[in-house]
Each structure stands twice: as structure tokens, then as C-alpha cells.
Amino acid sequence: MKNKTIKIIYSGLLAGFVSEGILGALFMSPPIQKILYNPDWQSKLFLEVTPTRDLFASIAGLVILSISHSWLFYVLQKSIPGKNWIYKGLFWGLAIWLMYWVFQEWFMFHTLLLEPLLLNLVELTILLVGSFIEGLIISKVLYEKPDNTESLS
């Protein structure tokens, strides 16, 4: 069990660091910055509040949260659709995106910071890429081939 715990923590940290690094690069790219921070499109409240956030704490929290995503994958792996680690990882990435990012974009950015829905959709598209990467890394590290001795009935 100790080895599994280390593997779960490792896969979560690895998936968190890689996916957050890619998301950071995408969100900091000049074309995305021009879209998301265009004062003609973006809400005034969003433009006032987002520069004050603590990026280190936010990113560190998301990387640590990835450990829970790894643990849940490990626990639920047999019930996750897919015949191999790739399909299971893509499904898991979609599940992370649906349960976390869609919720966050709607309640934090759209309803609280009044971000326009089209800009939410731009962000959600980028976040889906990061979620797929996170799910694939977790699945690659933790995937266990099904035991063929189990009954399928």
C-alpha cells in the first residue's frame, strides 16, 4: 500500500505541474492575453480583481488538488470507461473539466466577476486541454490492466 500511496502522490504532482505549466503558457500567451484582457470585451470587475490574485497560491493549490484527482482515479479506475490508459485518461480529463473548471468558470468568473460568457468559453476551451493532459498523465502512471479472471456477467 505504501508504494501505491507514493505512486498516487507522484502521479498527482506530475500531472499538476505539467498541466498547470501548459495552462500557464497558454494563458500568458499574447494572443490569449489580448482576448481575455481586452477592456472592450472583458468586465471591469474582472480587470480590477484578477491582477490582485496570488498566482503562486492558486497554482500550488491546483497542483496539490491534482493529488486528489489521482487518488479518485485510482479508486474509480475499474468503473472509468475506456479499454486502455489513453481512453481512461481522456475520460478522466473530461470528468475533471466538467466537475471543476466548468463549475469555477460559471460561479466565479461569470456570476461573481461578470465575465462575458464568450470569454468563459474561450477559457473553458483552454482548460479542457489542460484537463486532458492531467487525466492522461494520471492514467499513464496509475493504469492497471484489467484482471481477465473476473466474470463479465
Could you report the per-residue pLDDT of 13-32, keeping only the tens digit for each?
999 999 999 999 999 999 99
pLDDT at position 153: 43
pLDDT in tens, 89-137: 999 999 999 999 999 999 999 999 999 999 999 999 999 999 999 999 9
Q: What is the pTM of this model?
A: 0.90
| Sequence spans of domains, the chain | 2-142
Q: At a CB cut-off of 8 Å and minimum separation 6, what does 120 contact?
A: 105, 106, 109, 110
Name the residue among 95, 116, 147, 135 with its Cα closest to residue 39. 116
pLDDT in tens, 96-108: 999 999 999 999 9
Interval 43-65: pLDDT, tens = 999 999 988 988 899 999 999 99
